[in-house]
């Protein structure tokens, strides 16, 4: 249209192309200067939404990784406190071993207890002051702590740390007595020597621990020793360990010849030693104790002088029955035998020993044949467990029910306690401390496993964040190679368009030739 002046189509078309190339040039310059392919929603609406979601996810992953590393630091702090508690318990155990030695005087035991008391206080101090960011870690209050270890809701690790206070760690103890009433039975005059049995009955014991169940059958011939052997055969499965002991109190009356048979064995009372010595209330029981101990290799029974004049404590650490028989014997000094009842504290789990009413054995051959004292079985485990006596009580006098263990805690340790001259306090302390160390070891194992889990989680989050960063880069970052090409193209088009616009604007001047 060379004959039109008002409408210059070539110029308008060139301006349109020039505007397009200008927009393309501006977009390329913006992308190259920002490094982003998407700078506003108009660049790529769908891509912007995807990139925004990825950015949120990436931010969450980075924070979750930081959370996991914080969890590792917290657990390291807890493990340090538990390690310190273990060292204190080891020191306490060494003192308990020293206290268990029979050469200690009462003042020596008190000095050892003073040291143990300070260690008990320090265990308590550590358990209540081990903190991370003001949070108590090992006093039992950290029962369910949540760590956010993912970018989304619900991606958490929940954990707790067991109580390490002195009142919460120790040995779970439970004791069954040979009999419930007085821990002895009299066989009467009609039984043959060696035929007496303790009052354990036919029945079952069911032990449940560590998620496992064990059943032990008992009969009239069972002893604490045989039951303990059966229980310990499955200790690796249930975690429950049993120990047995038998103890009887022999009381001598008057002075004269003391003549009796002493029998001790695992099941049938067949291993016999005759004790025949002269006793004088004026000189004491030393020669009788000596005679009994001279035969301990045969009977398994040892003797110590009792705390009351004329008394002798008989003991068998295997839990075999202790049988004292006078059938066919003539003795000038009357003999009485009693067992012991044990009361277990519901708070400390410790046992209190009380001598039962004695059964007198006569001074003539026709007198009462003998007395059998049954042994006791003590169960222990650092973890909780139960023992059920089944439909028929395995021990006379017990009811058909289930018994739970009672915690003997580190706080209850007292090595000054002596029972019939035996350092029972120190012996109990060893069991308690071993249980407490097992408690701490279990806590440390749990803490260590959690540390490994947090570290694995942090590593996984780091990998996920790396991969997501790569995806986000693909989605929103500028491709400099491609965009540089677009920039060059837009620049050339811009320059060419400018030149062509000048040409297009000069075309209407040709109309002037028609006016000449």
The residue among 309 and 204 whose pLDDT is bigger is: 309
**Confidence tier at 119 by pLDDT (50, 70, 90):** very high
Edge-first strand listing for the sheet containing 385-388:
212-218, 203-209, 385-388, 402-404
The answer to whether residues 114 and 229 belong to one domain is: no
pLDDT at 270 over 60: no
Q: Buried b / exposed e across 27-42, counting CB within 10 Å, b at 16+?
A: bbeebeeeeebbbeee
pLDDT digits (tens, 9 = 90+) for 43-52: 778 877 888 8
Most confident residue range from 18-32, 38-52, 289-303: 289-303
44 in a domain, yes or no? no
400 in a domain, yes or no? no
| Per-residue pLDDT at 232 | 92
The answer to whether residues 367 and 315 belong to one domain is: yes
Domain extent, residue 92, equals 59-173+410-460
Asked if residue 361 lies in contact with residue 334, where contact means CB atoms within 8 angstroms, the answer is yes
Coil, strand, or helix at residue 416? Answer: coil
Please tell me the least confidently modeled range out of 171-180, 189-198, 358-367, 415-424: 189-198
| Per-residue pLDDT at 199 | 54
| Per-residue pLDDT at 195 | 42
Asked if residue 310 lies in contact with residue 286, where contact means CB atoms within 8 angstroms, the answer is no
The residue among 148 and 191 whose pLDDT is bigger is: 148
Most confident residue range from 143-152, 220-229, 279-288: 143-152
The answer to whether residues 163 and 185 belong to one domain is: no
For residues 322 and 185, give the distance between their C-alpha atoms in angstroms, rounded to a whole number: 11
Q: Which long-range contacts (CB under 8 A, 24 or more apart) does 461-466 make?
A: 461/61, 461/62, 461/64, 461/65, 461/68, 461/149, 461/150, 462/65, 464/61, 465/58, 465/61, 465/62, 465/65
The residue among 143 and 355 whose pLDDT is bigger is: 143
Average model confidence (pLDDT) across the chain: 81
The answer to whether residues 203 and 322 belong to one domain is: yes
**Confidence tier at 116 by pLDDT (50, 70, 90):** very high
How far is Cα of residue 89 from the mean position of the Cα atoms in its chain?
16
Asked if residue 183 lies in contact with residue 388, where contact means CB atoms within 8 angstroms, the answer is no
For residues 154 and 151, give the distance between their C-alpha atoms in angstroms, rounded to a whole number: 9
pLDDT at 338 over 60: yes
Asked if residue 349 lies in contact with residue 412, where contact means CB atoms within 8 angstroms, the answer is yes
Coil, strand, or helix at residue 317? Answer: coil
pLDDT digits (tens, 9 = 90+) for 203-240: 778 888 888 999 888 776 777 888 889 989 999 899 88
The answer to whether residues 128 and 164 belong to one domain is: yes
CATH code, 70: 1.20.1330.10
The answer to whether residues 169 and 233 belong to one domain is: no
For residues 195 and 173, give the distance between their C-alpha atoms in angstroms, rounded to a whole number: 32
| Per-residue pLDDT at 91 | 96
Q: List Cα–Cα distances, 353 to 27, 397, 410, 481, 507, in angstroms.
A: 94, 18, 21, 92, 126
Asked if residue 226 lies in contact with residue 266, where contact means CB atoms within 8 angstroms, the answer is yes
450 in a domain, yes or no? yes
| Per-residue pLDDT at 272 | 82
37 in a domain, yes or no? no
| Per-residue pLDDT at 124 | 96
Give mean pLDDT, residues 5-28: 77
Give mean pLDDT, residues 3-19: 75
Q: List Cα–Cα distances, 145 to 83, 133, 449, in angstroms.
A: 21, 14, 16
191 in a domain, yes or no? yes
DSSP 423: -
For residues 35 and 480, give the distance between their C-alpha atoms in angstroms, rounded to a whole number: 8
Asked which of 362, 394, 426 is the last residue of a domain, the reply is: 394
**Confidence tier at 253 by pLDDT (50, 70, 90):** confident
Give mean pLDDT, residues 337-349: 73
Please tell me the least confidently modeled range out of 2-16, 141-155, 376-390, 481-495: 2-16
pLDDT at 435 over 80: yes
Instruction: Single out the residue of 324, 184, 309 nearest to residue 253, CA to CA.
Output: 309
352 in a domain, yes or no? yes
Q: What angle (nearest 5°) sits at the alpha carbon of residue 177, between those of residues 175 and 178?
A: 145
pLDDT digits (tens, 9 = 90+) for 159-218: 999 999 999 999 887 776 654 333 333 333 323 333 444 556 677 788 888 889 998 887
Let me know if 281 is exposed, middle or buried by CB neighbors in 10 A (0-12, 13-18, 19+): middle
Please give the full DSSP string across 45-63, using - where no structure is assigned. HHHHHHHHHHHHHHHHHHH
242 in a domain, yes or no? yes
For residues 322 and 69, give the distance between their C-alpha atoms in angstroms, rounded to a whole number: 62
pLDDT at 363 over 70: no
| Per-residue pLDDT at 482 | 78
Q: Provide φ and ψ at 261, rounded to 5°.
A: -100, 135
Please tell me the least confidently modeled range out of 52-66, 248-262, 355-369, 387-401: 387-401
216 in a domain, yes or no? yes
pLDDT at 65 over 70: yes
State percent of the chain over pLDDT 90: 31
The answer to whether residues 108 and 243 belong to one domain is: no
The answer to whether residues 333 and 382 belong to one domain is: yes
Give mean pLDDT, residues 59-71: 93
pLDDT digits (tens, 9 = 90+) for 443-460: 999 999 999 999 999 999
Give mean pLDDT, residues 109-131: 96
The answer to whether residues 232 and 292 belong to one domain is: yes
Please tell me the least confidently modeled range out of 3-17, 78-92, 135-149, 390-404: 390-404
The answer to whether residues 187 and 217 belong to one domain is: yes
| Per-residue pLDDT at 181 | 31
The answer to whether residues 99 and 122 belong to one domain is: yes
- Domains identified in the chain, total number: 2
Asked if residue 269 lies in contact with residue 323, where contact means CB atoms within 8 angstroms, the answer is yes
The answer to whether residues 220 and 317 belong to one domain is: yes
Give mean pLDDT, residues 365-378: 68
State percent of the chain over pLDDT 70: 84
| Per-residue pLDDT at 370 | 72
Element (H, E) at 243: strand 241-253
Asked if residue 313 lies in contact with residue 420, where contact means CB atoms within 8 angstroms, the answer is yes
């Amino acid at each position: 249209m060379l004959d039109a002046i008002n409408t210059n189509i070539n110029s308008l078309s060139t301006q349109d192309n020039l505007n397009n190339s200008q927009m393309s040039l501006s977009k390329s310059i913006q992308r190259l200067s920002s490094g982003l392919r998407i700078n506003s929603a108009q660049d790529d609406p769908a891509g912007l939404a995807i990139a925004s979601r990825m950015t949120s996810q990436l931010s969450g992953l980075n924070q979750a990784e930081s959370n996991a590393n914080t969890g590792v630091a917290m657990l390291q702090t807890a493990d340090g406190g538990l390690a310190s508690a273990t060292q204190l318990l080891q020191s306490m155990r060494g003192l308990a071993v020293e206290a268990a030695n029979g050469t200690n005087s009462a003042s020596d035991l008190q000095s050892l207890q003073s040291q143990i008391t300070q260690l008990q206080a320090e265990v308590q101090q550590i358990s209540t002051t081990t903190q991370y960011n003001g949070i108590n870690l090992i006093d039992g209050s950290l029962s369910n702590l949540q760590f956010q270890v993912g970018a989304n809701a619900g991606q958490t690790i929940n954990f707790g740390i067991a109580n390490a206070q002195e009142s919460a760690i120790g040995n779970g103890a439970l004791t069954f007595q040979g009999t419930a009433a007085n821990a002895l039975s009299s066989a009467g005059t009609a039984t043959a020597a060696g035929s007496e049995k303790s009052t354990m009955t036919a029945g079952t014991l069911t032990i449940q621990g560590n998620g496992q169940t064990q059943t032990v059958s008992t009969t009239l011939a069972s002893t604490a020793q045989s039951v303990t052997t059966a229980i310990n055969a499955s200790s690796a499965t249930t975690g429950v360990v049993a120990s047995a002991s038998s103890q009887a109190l022999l009381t001598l009356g008057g002075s004269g010849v003391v003549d009796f048979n002493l029998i001790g064995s695992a099941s049938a009372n067949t291993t016999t030693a005759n004790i025949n010595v002269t006793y004088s209330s004026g000189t004491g029981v030393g020669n009788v104790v000596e005679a009994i101990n001279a035969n301990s290799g045969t009977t398994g029974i040892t003797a110590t002088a009792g705390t009351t004049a004329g008394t002798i404590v008989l003991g068998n650490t295997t839990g075999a029955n202790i049988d004292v028989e006078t059938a066919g014997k003539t003795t000038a000094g009357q003999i009485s035998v009693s067992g012991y009842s044990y009361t277990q504290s519901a708070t400390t789990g410790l046992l209190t020993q009380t001598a039962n009413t004695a059964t007198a054995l006569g001074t003539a051959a026709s007198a009462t044949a003998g007395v059998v004292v049954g042994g006791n079985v003590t169960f222990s485990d650092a973890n909780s467990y139960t023992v059920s006596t089944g439909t028929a009580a395995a021990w006379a006098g017990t009811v058909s029910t289930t018994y739970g263990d009672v915690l003997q805690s580190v706080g209850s340790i007292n090595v000054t306690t002596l029972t019939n001259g035996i350092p029972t306090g120190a012996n109990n302390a060893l069991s308690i401390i071993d249980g407490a160390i097992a408690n701490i070891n279990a806590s440390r194992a749990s803490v260590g496993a959690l540390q490994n889990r947090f570290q694995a989680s942090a590593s996984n989050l780091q990998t996920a964040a790396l991969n997501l960063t790569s995806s986000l880069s693909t989605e929103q970052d500028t491709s400099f190679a491609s965009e540089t090409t677009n920039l060059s193209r837009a620049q050339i088009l811009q320059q060419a368009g400018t030149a062509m616009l000048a040409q297009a604007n000069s075309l209407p001047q040709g109309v002037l030739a028609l006016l000449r």
